[in-house]
Structure 1
Amino acid sequence: MSDGSLSPRVSVVVGLLAMAPVLWYGLTSSSTAGIISVVNVLITIGALLIATGPAEVATVHGGSSA
């Protein structure tokens, strides 16, 4: 399996799976560090969703078509 055969959205699913150990860390260790870790994972997942989302198509006047 080559890297080109995987959808970029797979990284979003892997990011969501990363929430399990982060939540475990937050429950068993410092709750403050766990909260900060959850926020960091959510920011990363959000950035991946934006980066792998559909591109806006500009109209003649430079605005979006939607």
Structure 2
Amino acid sequence: MELTPRLAGMVALLAFLPVVAFGVFRTWWAGAITLVNVVIIAVSLYLLMSPTESEAHAAHGDDVESAGDEAL
């Protein structure tokens, strides 16, 4: 099974369950800080595993016109 950005983001969002429990059973502000941290980590994983612009361009770079552009 290939790990796609969408799947990695969904797995990272499973961390919301302990965040909710932490916010309910502890103080609410600690739960809010933990929630922000989980969102930052989930977005970072998504961006880390997303294809970059150069990878998308390289996939279409088989034609002769783009080969000349890369040499410049």
TM over 0.5: yes
Equivalent residue pairs, number? 57
Q: In the alignment, which of 40, 43, 47 is matched to residue 44 of structure 2?
A: 47
TM-score (norm 1): 0.70
Gap runs ≥5 in structure 1:
62-66
Extract unaligned runs of 5+ from structure 2: 58-65
Q: Does 1:7 align with 2:3?
A: yes
Cα distance between partner residues in 1 of 2:53 and 2:16? 30
The structure having more radius of gyration, on CA atoms, is 2
CA-to-partner distance for each residue in 1:10-48, whole Å, 9 max, x for gaps?
A: 432221111011111101211010000000000000100
After TM superposition, which residue ranges in structure 1, 4 or more long, deviate above 3 angstroms? 8-11, 58-61
TM-score after normalising by structure 2 = 0.65
* Higher mean displacement: 33-42 or 48-57: 48-57
One-letter amino acid matched to 1:17? L
- The alignment's C-alpha RMSD in Å is 2.1
Identity percentage over the alignment?
A: 30
